[in-house]
Chains A and B, each alone.
Chain A
Amino acid sequence: MAPTGSRRSGYSRRAQYNLFTGYVIAGIGALIGAILLALSFFQPQLFGGVRGAAQGGLSPATETAATVRTGSKSVWENISGYYRAGSKNAQLKRELEIARIRLREAEAVKQENVRLKGLLDLHEAETKPVAVARLVGSSASSTRRFAYLGAGSNDGVAVGMPVRSPRGVVGRILETGSSSSRVLLLTDTESVLPVRRAGDEVVAFAEGRGDGLLRIKLINLGINPLEPGDLFVTSGAGGYYPPGIAVAILTETTDDGGLARIVSDPAAADYVSVEQIYEPEAALGAETPIERELTD
Chain B
Amino acid sequence: MERNDPRARTDAYGSRINRSHSNMLANAVPWASIMVASILPVFPIATALPVVPPLGLLMLLGWRLVRPGLLPVWAGLPLGLIDDLFSGQPFGFAMFVWSLIMLAIEVVEMRLPWRAFWQDWFTAGLLIVGYLFAGWLLSGAQPTIHSLVALVPQLVLTILLFPIAARFVAMLDRFRLTRWRAL
Contacts and interface: CB of A to CB of B under 8 A. Distances in A.
Contacts of A34: 92, 96
Interface in A123-147: 135, 137-147
A33 B97 contact: yes
Chain A interface main SS type: mixed
Contacts, number: 213
Interface string B85-103: 1111111111111111011
Given A142-B139, A187-B47, A210-B146, A4 B68 contact: yes
Interface stretch (B1-9, B13-21, B22-30, B108-116): B108-116
Interface string B137-150: 01111101011011
A46 B91 contact: yes
A129 to B, nearest CB: 20
B163 interface: no
A81 interface: no
B139 A143 contact: yes
A209 B147 contact: yes
A185 interface: yes
Interface in B35-69: 39, 41-55, 66-69
A212 B138 contact: no
B77 A139 contact: no
B74 interface: yes
A30 interface: yes
A62 B42 contact: yes
Nearest to B65: A1
A213 B144 CA distance: 13
Interface residues of B, number: 64
A142 B88 contact: yes
Nearest to A65: B43
A266 interface: yes
Given A23-B73, A46-B91, A212 B43 contact: no
B151 interface: yes
A180 to B, nearest CB: 11
A256 interface: no
Interface stretch (A36-44, A153-161, A222-230): A36-44
B154 interface: yes
Contacts of A190: 140-142
B147 A58 contact: no
A265 interface: yes
A26 B77 contact: yes
B96 A30 contact: yes
Nearest to B55: A141
Nearest to B48: A212
A3 B144 CA distance: 41
B69 A140 contact: no
A1 B147 contact: no
Interface string B142-174: 101011011100100000000000000000000
Interface string A19-33: 000110111111011
Given A4-B68, A37-B92, A188-B141, A141 B136 contact: no
Interface of B: 39, 41-55, 66-69, 72-74, 76-77, 80, 84-100, 102-103, 106, 109-110, 113-114, 135-136, 138-142, 144, 146-147, 149-151, 154
Interface of A: 1-7, 22-23, 25-30, 32-41, 44, 46-47, 50-51, 54-55, 58, 61-62, 65, 69, 135, 137-148, 185, 187-190, 209-213, 262, 265-267, 291
